[in-house]
C-alpha cells in the first residue's frame, strides 16, 4: 500500500497535495524523536508545513495517525477470506487472506518499522495494538463462519492466523535480511503446523 | 481454586473472616445488577458489611477485584511449562500447563461465569482482559525460551496455547453440559491440530 496521495481542496481554495501523507510522515518522525506522549498536534502540523485545522480534517487525534489503517486491513482480510475458493480449508482461506495483506503492506516496510518502534515505546499504544489484532481475529472468525465453518474451529483458525501474522510481521519489521512479508507469513504458518503437530 | 479464606486481623482488634472473598462476591453481584461503571467501592463495602478502608486493604480499586487472579495464573502457567518433562515438545509443555490451570479454575465456574458476563458488558474491561491474555502468552513464550525453544516457535506455540485456552474457557463458562474445563482444553487443542493441518 503506497501512501495514498490525497489532493485536498479546502475552503480557502488552496491545494494541499498529499497533506494526509505529509502529516503522517511528520507525526512518525516526531514520535520517534521525542516520544508519542511528548508530541503535540501543533508540532505535527508545523513539521508538515500545514495547519492544525488541516490535521483535524484528516485525523481525529494524534493516535489515529498510527491506527487509521486498521479498518482497511480488516476489510481486506474479511474480503479475502470470503473470496477464497469454496474448496479451500479454513486455514487455507486465512493463509490466502494474510498473504494478500502481506503483499499490500510490503512496500510500506520503512513506515511499518518506524510505527512499530513508536508503539513498542508506549504502553497505551501497545494495548491499542493488541486490541486491533484481537478485533482482526474476531472479524476473520466471523468471515469463516459466513463460509460455514462451525463452532470453535472458526475462532481457533482465526486466532492461529493472527498469531502467524504477528510473528511474521515482527520478523519482517525487525529483520535485516530483506525477506518478503508474504514469504515470512508462509514460513510462520509452516512453523505453526510443526509446533501444533507436537 | 477455591476462594482463599483470609482471616484478616485489623487494627481495631476485630476479626473479619474472609473479608477478601466477601468483597469479591459483593462486587460481582453489584457489577451484574447495576453494571461495573455504576458501582462504587462504597456500595461494594456496604453490601459486604465491611468498610471502604477494608476494601482498599485488599484491592487497589474496583477493577482489581476482577483481575487480581491474573498474576497467580501467570505464575502457575510459567511454573508448569518449566516443570514439564524434558522430553515434552513445546506444545505438550503448554498443554500440560493449560490443563493444570484448568484443574485450578474448575471449582470456580460460577464465579468465572459471573465475571465473564461483567467483562463482556464493558469495553474497558474487555480490553483489559485482552491485555491479560497477551501478557500470559508473552510469559508462556518466555518460559518456552527458558526450555531452549528457539525463535518464533516459542511465540507461535504460546499464542496457539492461549487461543486454545480462550476457546475452551468460553465453552466452559457458557456451556450447560457440565464439561470439565480440562477436557475442553484437550478437545480444543485437538481441534487446533486439525484446523492447522488444513
Lowest mean pLDDT among A105-114, B99-108, B175-184: B175-184
User: Does residue A8 carry a pLDDT above 50?
Assistant: no
CB contacts of B191 in chain A (<8 Å) are 152-153, 156
For B124, the closest chain A residue by CA position comes to A131
CA angle B86, A160, B146 (to 5 degrees): 25
Name the class of domain B68-197. mainly alpha
The neighbouring-strand residues paired with A16 are: A8
**Which pLDDT band, with edges at 50, 70 and 90, does A2 fall under?**
very low
Q: How far apart are the C-alpha atoms of A149 and A137, rounded to whole Å?
A: 15
The reply to whether residue A195 touches residue B155, judged by beta carbons under 8 angstroms, is no
Task: Residue A89: count other Cβ atoms within 10 Å of its Cβ.
Answer: 16
Instruction: Output the nine-digit C-alpha cell for B158.
Output: 504460546
Q: Between residues B120 and B9, which one has the greater pLDDT?
A: B120
| pLDDT per residue as tens digits for the range B51-95 | 999 999 999 999 999 999 999 999 999 999 999 999 999 999 999
Percentage of chain A with pLDDT > 90? Answer: 82
Nearest Cβ partner for B156 among A153, A195, A197:
A195
Nearest Cβ partner for B167 among A90, A156, A195:
A156
| pLDDT per residue as tens digits for the range A67-124 | 999 999 999 999 999 999 999 999 999 999 999 999 999 889 999 999 999 999 999 9
Nearest to B19 by CA among B8, B3, B30, B31: B8
- Is the CA virtual torsion A47, A48, A53, A57 positive or negative? negative
Which whole number is the average pLDDT over B161-175? 92
Q: How far is B143 from chain A (nearest CA, A)?
A: 16
User: Does residue B5 carry a pLDDT above 80?
Assistant: no
Task: Residue B113: count other Cβ atoms within 10 Å of its Cβ.
Answer: 14
Q: How far is B164 from chain A (nearest CA, A)?
A: 7
In this structure, the dihedral spanned by the alpha carbons of residues A103, A107, A113 and A114, taken in order and rounded to 10 degrees, is -130
Which whole number is the average pLDDT over B26-30? 97
Q: How far is A164 from chain B (nearest CA, A)?
A: 7
User: Does residue A197 carry a pLDDT above 90?
Assistant: no
3-state secondary structure of A9: strand
Q: How far apart are the C-alpha atoms of B151 and B174, rounded to whole Å?
A: 36
User: Does residue B4 carry a pLDDT above 50?
Assistant: no
Chain A contact for B138 (CB, 8 A cutoff): no
Q: How far is A195 from chain B (nearest CA, A)?
A: 6
Q: Is B11 exposed, middle or buried (0-12, 13-18, 19+ CB in 10 A)?
A: exposed
ipTM for the whole predicted complex goes beyond 0.95: no
Instruction: Output the nine-digit C-alpha cell for B133.
Output: 491474555
**Which pLDDT band, with edges at 50, 70 and 90, does B14 fall under?**
low
Chain A contact for B92 (CB, 8 A cutoff): yes
CB contacts of A196 in chain B (<8 Å) are 91, 157, 160, 192-193, 196-197
- Residue B68's pLDDT is what? 94
**Which pLDDT band, with edges at 50, 70 and 90, does B6 fall under?**
very low
Q: How far apart are the C-alpha atoms of B191 and A156, rounded to whole Å?
A: 8
- Residue B3's pLDDT is what? 40
3-state secondary structure of A66: helix
- Residue A14's pLDDT is what? 54
- Residue B17's pLDDT is what? 75
**Which pLDDT band, with edges at 50, 70 and 90, does A17 fall under?**
confident
Mean pLDDT, chain A, whole residue set:
90
**Which pLDDT band, with edges at 50, 70 and 90, does B15 fall under?**
low
Lowest mean pLDDT among A58-62, A171-175, B31-35, B57-61: A171-175
B173, B119 contact by CB (below 8 A): no
End-to-end CA distance of chain B: 37
For chain A, which residues make up each domain, given as ranges? 7-65, 68-197
C-alpha distances in Å from residue A49, one per residue of A5, A17, A19, A22, A43: 16, 12, 9, 9, 10
Q: How far apart are the C-alpha atoms of A78 and B194, rounded to whole Å?
A: 22
- Residue B151's pLDDT is what? 80
C-alpha distances in Å from residue A183, one per residue of A42, A172, B77, B102, B198: 40, 10, 33, 37, 19
CB contacts of A193 in chain B (<8 Å) are 196-198
For A167, the closest chain B residue by CA position comes to B152
**Which pLDDT band, with edges at 50, 70 and 90, does B97 fall under?**
very high
Percentage of chain B with pLDDT > 70? Answer: 92
Mean pLDDT, chain B, whole residue set:
90
Mutate to test the interface with B, among A128, A161, A163, A184 (most CBs of B within 10 A): A163
Which 3-state string (H, E, C) describes chain B? CCCCCCEEECCCCCEEECHHHHHHHHHHHHHHHHCCCCCCHHHHHHHHCCCHHHHHHHCCCCCHHHHCHHHHHHHHHHHHHHHCCCCCCHHHHHHHHHHHHHHHHHHHHHHHHHHHHHHHCCHHHHHHHHHHHHHHHHHHHHHHHHCCCCHHHHHHHHHHHHHHHHHHHHHHHHCCCCCCHHHHHHHHHHHHHHHHHC
Chain A contact for B52 (CB, 8 A cutoff): no
- Residue B174's pLDDT is what? 87
Q: How far apart are the C-alpha atoms of A132 and A143, rounded to whole Å?
A: 17
- The CATH T-level fold of domain B7-65 is Arc Repressor Mutant, subunit A (1.10.10)
Amino acid at each position: 500500500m503506497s501512501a495514498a496521495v490525497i489532493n485536498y481542496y479546502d475552503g480557502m481554495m488552496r491545494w494541499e497535495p498529499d497533506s494526509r501523507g505529509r502529516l503522517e510522515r511528520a507525526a512518525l518522525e516526531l514520535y520517534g524523536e521525542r516520544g508519542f506522549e511528548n508530541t503535540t498536534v501543533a508540532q505535527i502540523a508545523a513539521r508538515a508545513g500545514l495547519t492544525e485545522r488541516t490535521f483535524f480534517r484528516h485525523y481525529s487525534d494524534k493516535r489515529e495517525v498510527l491506527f487509521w489503517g486498521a479498518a482497511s486491513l480488516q476489510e481486506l482480510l474479511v474480503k479475502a477470506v470470503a473470496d477464497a475458493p469454496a474448496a479451500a480449508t479454513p486455514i487455507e482461506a486465512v493463509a490466502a487472506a494474510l498473504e494478500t495483506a502481506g503483499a499490500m503492506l510490503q512496500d510500506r516496510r520503512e513506515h511499518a518499522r518506524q510505527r512499530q518502534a513508536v508503539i513498542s515505546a508506549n504502553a497505551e499504544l501497545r494495548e491499542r495494538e493488541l486490541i486491533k489484532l484481537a478485533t482482526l481475529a474476531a472479524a476473520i472468525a466471523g468471515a469463516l463462519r459466513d463460509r460455514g465453518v462451525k463452532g470453535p474451529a472458526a475462532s481457533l483458525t482465526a486466532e492461529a492466523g493472527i498469531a502467524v501474522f504477528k510473528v511474521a510481521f515482527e520478523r519482517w519489521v525487525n529483520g535485516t535480511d530483506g525477506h518478503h512479508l508474504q514469504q515470512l507469513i508462509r514460513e510462520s504458518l509452516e512453523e505453526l503446523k510443526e509446533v501444533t503437530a507436537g
